[in-house]
């Protein structure tokens, strides 16, 4: 079993929809959580970085962490075609330098 | 503009050949990382370096080598011992301490001729 599980998709939604992307993890030592957006043939771009359980909002993006359930989510409101990309969750314990990534969810926002 | 520059964008390797991928950052970050990305497998850590003249193996270091002679540079050599080198290679960097997130370059696509 992988330490971080993420549905690969693809997930297709109409423009304007609310998108929910999720990751589950098995290592309770993970404390820091990130969401990256990756366009085709580009490097991952940091979207959200959270530490504690709860919600963090930045514009149309909300990151949610539930450490008791070992579950993190990224919500995208009013989705746009420009949001079409692969979304990677990543996390680490804080005591090690190594990030552990999910495999990524491919999102397609259609007109 | 501060950032991480990877070159070349595309690279082709012949059988038995070593190739070197460049990664340069002007963010004044202490730590640098190399990842390999394959479809359906996410990112896997090859090597990382937290300080000049020091580096550690990641999860899939076999067939790769690195050096860290300058803070801003962390080149990766894919040796002929790496039998399946076709992948997208990503370099990242971060400040050490304070648990800062990693920032990535735009990658190098390596293919076999």
Tens digit of pLDDT for each residue in B40-94? Answer: 788 999 999 999 999 999 999 999 999 999 999 999 999 999 989 999 999 999 9
Which residues are CB-contacts of A39 (< 8 A; sequence separation ≥ 6)? A45, A85, A86
- Confirm if A85 and A2 have CB atoms less than 8 A apart: no
Residue of A nearest to B6 (CA): A43
Of A51, A94, A101, the CB nearest to B42: A101
CA of A76 vs chain B CAs: smallest distance (Å): 21
Q: Where residue B39 falls among pLDDT bands split at 50, 70, 90?
A: confident
Q: Where residue B98 falls among pLDDT bands split at 50, 70, 90?
A: low
Contact across the interface for B106 and A42, Cβ inside 8 Å: yes
Of A32, A92, A97, the CB nearest to B31: A97
Mean pLDDT for A68-77 is 96
The whole-number pLDDT of residue A96 equals 62
3-state secondary structure of A36: strand
Does the structure show a pLDDT above 90 at A66?
A: yes
Contact across the interface for B6 and A43, Cβ inside 8 Å: yes
Mean pLDDT for B84-112 is 90
The whole-number pLDDT of residue A97 equals 66
Mean pLDDT for A65-86 is 96
Q: Measured in Å, how far apart are chain A's first and last C-alpha atoms?
A: 37
**How far apart are alpha carbons B51 and B97 in whole angstroms?**
12
The whole-number pLDDT of residue A82 equals 97
The whole-number pLDDT of residue A26 equals 96
- Which residue would you say has higher pLDDT here, A39 or B40? A39
- Give the mean pLDDT of chain B: 93
- Confirm if B54 and B47 have CB atoms less than 8 A apart: no
- Give the mean pLDDT of chain A: 93
Over pLDDT 90: what percentage of chain A? 82
- Confirm if A105 and A86 have CB atoms less than 8 A apart: yes
The whole-number pLDDT of residue B56 equals 94
């Amino acid at each position: 079993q992988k330490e971080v599980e993420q549905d690969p998709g693809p997930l297709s939604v109409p423009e304007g929809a609310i998108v929910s992307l999720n990751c589950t993890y098995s290592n309770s030592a993970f404390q820091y959580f990130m969401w990256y957006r990756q366009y085709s043939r580009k490097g991952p771009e940091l979207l959200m970085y959270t530490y504690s359980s709860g919600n963090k909002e930045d514009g149309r993006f909300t990151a949610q962490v539930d450490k008791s359930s070992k579950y993190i989510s990224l919500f995208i409101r009013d989705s746009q075609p420009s949001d079409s990309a692969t979304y990677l969750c990543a996390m680490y314990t804080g005591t090690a330098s190594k990030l552990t990534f999910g495999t990524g969810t491919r999102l397609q926002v259609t007109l | 503009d501060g950032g991480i520059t990877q070159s070349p964008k595309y690279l082709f390797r012949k059988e038995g050949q070593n190739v070197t991928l460049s990664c340069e950052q002007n963010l004044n970050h202490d730590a640098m990382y190399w990842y390999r990305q394959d479809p359906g497998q996410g990112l896997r850590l090859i090597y990382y370096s937290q300080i000049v003249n020091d580096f550690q193996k990641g999860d899939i270091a076999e067939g790769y080598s690195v050096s860290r002679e300058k803070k801003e540079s962390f080149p990766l050599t894919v040796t002929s011992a790496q039998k399946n080198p076709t992948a997208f290679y990503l370099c990242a960097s971060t400040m050490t301490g304070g648990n800062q997130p990693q920032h990535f370059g735009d990658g190098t696509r390596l293919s076999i001729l």
